[in-house]
């Protein structure tokens, strides 16, 4: 009878990482942890912690590719900042991956963009998987190939959502929230068992993604909270929010010529 025990080399922190991968990571969710341990051969030095404002890498540098795929294990969010406008064009939470568009294989060979800084907005733990190791897994697992392709699609769709940000503050903020709801649902990370989407989402990130000033974002979130679209969670360092009414969020996101009756907020 085959063993169901993770090898000794993968006990302790490594065992926890493997368990996290098969339970929470989009790419590896549902895999047998023993089989994954044998194929991936995770080492302690592949687990890295990045602190607030610390850069993981710069994406799309001319004539330079990455040699590692980064799997987000805990913490975050991790943001992608485009230059020269310093706009946030990617927001990543545990379960997601980074760097695939810069790996010199598969769809990464076809993906081009301007240099973008990938950095931890808050303390984040990631697993680095070498290009060589990931290519071997990719060749041997058709299901992994499909999921990997989906990551590229989701990155494009996130940025497509941001293109729909208008100059009308409620719609712009709703667009960022809608982009995250779509992304996290597609990754299988959310909603929770109660059907609620919850995010650690600082005002500064929303502002830089929507190109609004932080004070305006703060007022929009206050208005959304008052009408029951979201619930703010100040206990989470002031940055936590949950979506309470997806239908109403969709209505705000879809506004083109109309307006909401609660904006601007009354003094």
Q: Is 17 in the same domain as 121?
A: yes
Mean residue pLDDT across the chain: 90
> Total structural domains in the chain?
2
Q: Is 76 in the same domain as 148?
A: yes
**For residues 17-46, average pLDDT:** 92
Per-residue pLDDT at 8: 38
Among 31-35, 120-124, 187-191, the range scoring the smallest mean pLDDT is 31-35
Phi-psi region of 41 (alpha: psi -120 to 50; beta: other; left: phi over 0): left
**For residues 26-45, average pLDDT:** 91
Q: Is 232 in the same domain as 133?
A: no
Residue 115 · residue 61 · CB < 8 Å: yes
Q: Is 16 in the same domain as 93?
A: yes
Q: Is 73 in the same domain as 188?
A: no
Q: Is 194 in the same domain as 233?
A: yes
* Per-residue pLDDT band at 106 (split at 50, 70, 90): confident
d(CA 107, CA 232): 38
Give domain status of residue 198, yes or no: yes
Give domain status of residue 261, yes or no: no
Q: Is 181 in the same domain as 200?
A: yes
Give domain status of residue 5, yes or no: no
Q: Is 64 in the same domain as 144?
A: yes
Tens-place pLDDT, residues 152-188: 999 999 999 999 999 999 999 999 999 999 999 999 9
Q: Which of 123, 144, 160 is the last residue of a domain?
A: 160
**For residues 95-110, average pLDDT:** 88
How would you write the chain as a 3-class SS string?
A: CCCCCCCHHHCCHHHHHHHHHHHHCCCCCCCCHHHHHHHHCCCHHHEEEECCCCEEEEECCCCCCCCEEEEEEEECCEEEEECCCCCEEEEECCCCEECHHHCCCHHHHHCCCCCEEEEECCCEEEEEEEHHHHHHHHHHCHHHHHHHHHHHHHHHHHHHHHHCCCCCHHHHHHHHHHHHHHHHHHCCCCCCCCCCEEEECCHHHHHHHHCCCHHHHHHHHHHHHHCCCEEEECCCCCCEEEECCHHHHHHHHCCCCCCCCCCCCCC
Residue 171 · residue 210 · CB < 8 Å: no
Residue 241 · residue 202 · CB < 8 Å: no
Tens-place pLDDT, residues 233-256: 977 577 999 999 999 999 999 997
Q: Is 140 in the same domain as 222?
A: no
Residues in the chain: 267
Give domain status of residue 259, yes or no: no
Domain with residue 123: its CATH number is: 2.60.120.10
Q: Which of 160, 183, 211 is the last residue of a domain?
A: 160
Kindly report the backbone phi and psi dihedral angles of residue 83, in degrees, each rounded to the nearest multiple of 5, phi listed first. Answer: -115, 155
**For residues 175-202, average pLDDT:** 97
Q: Which of 112, 142, 160 is the last residue of a domain?
A: 160
Per-residue pLDDT at 197: 98
Q: Is 104 in the same domain as 122?
A: yes
Tens-place pLDDT, residues 115-132: 899 999 999 999 999 999
> CB 253: neighbour CB atoms within 10 A?
22
Q: Is 107 in the same domain as 231?
A: no
CB-neighbour burial class of residue 242 (10 A; exposed 0-12, middle 13-18, buried 19+): middle
Give domain status of residue 40, yes or no: yes
Residue 212: which domain range? 165-253
d(CA 96, CA 72): 6
Q: Is 94 in the same domain as 208?
A: no
Give domain status of residue 99, yes or no: yes
């Amino acid at each position: 009878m085959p063993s169901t025990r993770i090898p000794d080399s993968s006990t302790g922190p490594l065992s926890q990482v493997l368990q996290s991968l098969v339970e929470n990571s989009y790419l590896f969710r549902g895999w047998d942890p023993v089989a994954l341990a044998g194929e991936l051969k995770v080492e302690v030095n592949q687990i890295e912690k990045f602190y607030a404002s610390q850069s993981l890498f710069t994406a799309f540098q001319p004539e330079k590719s990455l040699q590692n795929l980064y799997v987000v294990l805990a913490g975050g969010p991790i943001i992608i900042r485009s230059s020269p406008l310093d706009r946030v064009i990617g927001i990543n939470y545990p379960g997601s991956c980074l760097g695939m568009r810069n790996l010199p294989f598969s769809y990464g060979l076809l993906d081009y963009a301007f240099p973008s800084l990938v950095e931890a907005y808050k303390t984040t733990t990631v697993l680095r998987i070498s290009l060589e190791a990931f290519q071997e897994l990719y060749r041997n697992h058709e299901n992994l190939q499909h999921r990997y392709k989906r990551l590229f699609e989701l990155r494009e769709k996130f940025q497509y959502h941001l293109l729909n940000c208008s100059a009308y503050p409620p719609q712009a903020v709703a667009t960022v929230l809608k982009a995250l709801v779509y992304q996290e649902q597609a990754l299988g990370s959310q909603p929770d068992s109660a059907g609620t989407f919850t995010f650690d989402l600082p005002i500064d990130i929303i502002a830089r993604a929507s190109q609004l000033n932080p004070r305006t974002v703060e007022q929009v979130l206050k208005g959304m909270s008052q009408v029951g679209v979201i619930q703010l969670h100040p206990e989470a360092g002031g940055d936590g929010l949950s979506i309470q009414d997806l239908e109403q969020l969709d209505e705000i996101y879809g506004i083109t010529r109309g307006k909401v009756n609660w904006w601007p907020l009354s003094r």
